[in-house]
Amino acid sequence: MFINNFDPVAFNFFSLEIRWYSLAYIFGLIFGWYYCKKIIKDIKINYLFDNYITYLIIGIIVGGRIGYVIFYNFDYYKNNIIEIFMIWNGGMSFHGALIGVIITSFIFSKINNQKILIFLDFIAIASPIGIFFGRIANFINGELIGKATNASWGIIYPMIDDVPRHPSQLYEALLEGIILFILMNMIYFKKNYKIGTCSYMFLIYYGILRIFSEFFREPDAHIGYLFGSVSIGIFLSSFMILIGSILYLKK
């Protein structure tokens, strides 16, 4: 058994704490941006992508935070409104960030008279990089813990209890990070690629992989299961699969 005693603080810069989760966002954006710049062949889109990053960051942070407030802890934040703005205390939602990115991408594409799917395709291709770093940070922080297990690779989180648990964060890093990255790139680099395919398939593949990993993960303590064994993550991911399938079939 492995005991997770990692410090969520990577290092201190004078009186400022630099946390692994913050570094995950930073490196995810940097590597994702760099990868997109390498694979974008259209000169104009490549140029616009530098300005697009600002919209992307806003979408991720604002959408991720609002999504967490609405989907995961609305009862608390409706009585503690000022804490909504304290993002340094943690609390971000992938599904909220996804909605935020779609909205800001729509705004950016309209301003620059471009098709939104062009930008969303590249985000679909590169976002698994950021997801990978984010899940590793979740593991270091000892959050989003897995269910109890007797497997030899079980992880003990001393801040939670002394029960060996599935390293669900690492499962998600593998599935939503590495495997999803491979799938998206396989689709994009096929001959006769059609714009929008990666965007639609990202919704479907991420939803499937997330649902699978959710079966090894404890639901949020203050929410529990919505019904049966369906967590909020499974519910939102099922909706992603539905929307992605409708859009793909329509296309």
Q: What is the count of structural domains for the chain?
A: 1
In 10 A of CB 3, how many CB atoms?
A: 11
Q: Which two tokens stand for residue 3?
A: 């005991």
Helices (H), the chain: 20-39, 43-72, 74-77, 94-111, 116-141, 168-172, 180-188, 197-214, 232-250
pLDDT tens string 88-112: 667 889 999 999 999 999 999 999 9
Q: Which two tokens stand for residue 46?
A: 């490549």
Residue 183: domain span: 2-250
* Amino acid letter, residue 25: Y
pLDDT tens string 199-212: 999 999 999 999 99
Q: Which two tokens stand for residue 11?
A: 């290092």
Parallel, antiparallel, or unpaired for β 2-3 and 155-156?
Answer: parallel
pLDDT tens string 159-218: 889 999 999 999 999 999 999 999 999 999 998 999 999 999 999 999 999 999 999 999
Q: How confident is the model at residue 75 (pLDDT cuts 50, 70, 90)?
A: confident
CA 133/CA 131 separation, integer angstroms: 6
CA 55/CA 75 separation, integer angstroms: 29
Q: pTM value?
A: 0.91
Q: Which of 127, 90, 133, 93 is nearest to 202 (CA)?
A: 127
